[in-house]
A and B are shown apart, each in its own frame.
Chain A
Amino acid sequence: MTLKLGVPSKGRLMEQTFDWFATRGLTLSRTGSDREYAGAIDGIDGMELVLLSAGEIPRDLATGRIHLGVTGTDLIREKLPRWDTIVDPLAEMGFGHADLVIAVPAFWTDVDTLDDLDAVAAAFRARHGFRLRIATKYHRLVREFLRSHGVADYQLVDSQGATEGTVKNETAEAIADITSTGDTLRANHLKMLSDGLVLASQATLFASRTAPLDAGDAPTLARLRAMIA
């Protein structure tokens, strides 16, 4: 059989992934036209390249449709409860850095920590009659983080894009989103809480713990581990 490696199908993440494998003696390439999501791997036998949307890679690792996959730790932890029983991180790849952070309006000079956010949430609820809204698409990660830090009286509102704009639009009072440089936060007059780092994510090569391996796959996986070690 063959080991299937899932890689993001477009953009900088795909290019950086190809470069990362290339420096380790594995040449990944797309086959056919630019529009076709098929690929090839040279430098190792018994492996197959599958190009996928980055957001689908966690699920495909979980169901065992692919044996290996490149995706961000943020997506793995958000989408897979008990992720460490489902996938095994083989290598942090050193790119695709993104921090999931809690941010509030920069003019909230009274708020610097989660402790402040919690106190403000209580006052906000008393004054406005509803719980302080935090816009995010990372519901599970943010909820677990806030619970472990004892923050109460907030609500998560779903935002699948342009999350930084929700405060100005008055559909949220704070946000939890991915940032790499903080530029977008600043441009939208937001600031990160000093202890508001939920997760530091980067592109990571994961192995599925559920995908079936046959007799030929185990040596291939061992060879791959040796090449990327």
Chain B
Amino acid sequence: MDRAIRTRAAALQAHFAAHGAIPVETPILQPAEALLDLYGEDIRARAYVTQDPLRGEQMLRPDFTVPVVQMHMAKYADPARYTYAGEVFRRQETDTGRPSEYMQVGYEVFDGRDPAAADAEVFALIAAPLAHLGLRAVTGDMGLLIAAVEGLDTTPARKAALRRHIWRPARFRALLDRYAGRSAPPAARVALLTAALPFGDAPDIGLRNRDEVATRIAALRIDAAAPPLTAADIDRLTALLAIAGPMPVALAALDQLARDMPAIRQATDAIHRRMDALTARGITPATLHFDATHGRGSMEYYDGFVFSLIAPQHSDLPPVASGGRYDALTRVLGAGAAVPAVGGVIRPELVLTLEAAR
């Protein structure tokens, strides 16, 4: 790897360390199981999987967040701040122009005392060494959509299904259309639910048994009997997803919407507190773009504040920096224990690319 990239990575890590972060390292080889459980099979398309005869499937570190969370949960007490610098490895199946190995320098905060302040701290510390690059900041908050789904007037099963697919916008939209009665249920579903004997004459095979099939049929009957989502609910959700603009403008729109949609009140208040915390750190909120859908296309673990710093003149480049809040991830990896956490990474090689292009 280019020496200049390593030098820059070390300088960025020193910047985070100077603000109180403990430098940490994580193994490059990670047990595949935890990553597969977290990301699902899709991660195989993006990470290198290798086989170890004794340890089973191993993955070349596709990011630092998971091992840093595991390390924190196993060894350290809150509050804590960490910084790391090292290579991550990403398979490129479609785009030969993107590197399969590159450096990330990160800063992660495990501190639940003041989440808004922690969000602003991470953003400010990541944005500061990139200020000369004229990057565009795009922010969002996954908590809004999660709260909006929770607030829908519908069955818990439907809410759970929508919640599960927040990060897969196409399926989310298809579910929404079906729950709203906008798309007809599949013919086979209708036939099944009207059949006197829902089981055919095929023998039971496999681990999923007849009891599980019967349980799902019962759930489908409940779903078929549930009233459709109201047009007003759908309209409000659509309005929420369309909110975008400079942060203060978007926030005014959220305040307006929250009057009809009390479910997003708390999440909206959290964005107010974050905006105040960003202002207190000398950042002008009007310079930050807010997009309610930002974060839906990224890694599934972000569940609150999300941000990306992108080079507006270089739309072909990935974000120079990105990050977000991942409180739920710490519960998944912490075996019951959970800690509010937020962090982000910078890609030093992109910093150098942009500096060279200026």
Contact = CB atoms under 8 A, between A and B. Distances in A.
A81 interface: yes
A223 interface: no
B170 interface: yes
Nearest to A153: B40
Interface stretch (A19-27, A115-123, A204-212): A115-123
Contacts of A170: 206-207
A110 interface: yes
Interface residues of A, number: 44
Contact of A119 (B93, B200, B207, B216): B216
A146 B206 CA distance: 21
A11 interface: no
B41 A105 contact: no
Nearest to B175: A115
A189 B216 contact: no
A154 interface: yes
B202 A127 contact: no
Interface string A96-132: 0000000001111110110110111011100110011
B212 A123 contact: yes
A156 interface: yes
A150 interface: yes
Nearest to A174: B206
Interface in B32-65: 36-37, 40-42, 44-45
Interface in A51-95: 81-82
Contact of A110 (B165, B168, B207, B217): B217
Contacts of A147: 42, 45
A155 interface: yes
A191 B96 CA distance: 38
A112 B164 contact: no
A146 B171 CA distance: 11
Contacts, number: 109
B199 A109 contact: yes
Contacts of B355: none
A12 interface: no
Given A122-B164, A143-B45, A154-B40, A108 B188 contact: no
Task: Tell which of A112, A113, A156, A194 has the most Cβ of chain B within 10 Å.
Answer: A112
Interface string A139-171: 110011011011011111000000000011010
Contacts of A120: 208, 216
A107 B210 contact: yes
B207 A194 contact: no
Report, nearest first, the 10 A-B pairs whose CB atoms are least far apart: A150-B171, A106-B202, A112-B188, A150-B168, A107-B202, A167-B206, A110-B216, A168-B205, A81-B93, A170-B207
26 contacts: A81-B93, A107-B202, A107-B210, A109-B199, A110-B198, A112-B186, A118-B171, A119-B161, A120-B216, A123-B216, A124-B208, A127-B212, A131-B36, A140-B45, A143-B41, A143-B44, A143-B45, A150-B172, A152-B164, A152-B165, A153-B40, A168-B206, A170-B206, A189-B202, A189-B205, A194-B186
Interface of A: 81-82, 105-110, 112-113, 115-116, 118-120, 122-124, 127-128, 131-132, 139-140, 143-144, 146-147, 149-150, 152-156, 167-168, 170, 172-173, 188-189, 191, 194
Interface of B: 36-37, 40-42, 44-45, 93-94, 96, 161, 164-165, 168, 170-172, 174, 186, 188-189, 192, 198-200, 202-208, 210, 212-213, 215-217, 220
Given A109-B192, A109-B198, A123-B212, 14 more contacts: A81-B94, A82-B94, A82-B96, A105-B208, A107-B200, A107-B202, A110-B198, A131-B40, A139-B44, A155-B41, A167-B205, A189-B203, A189-B205, A191-B202
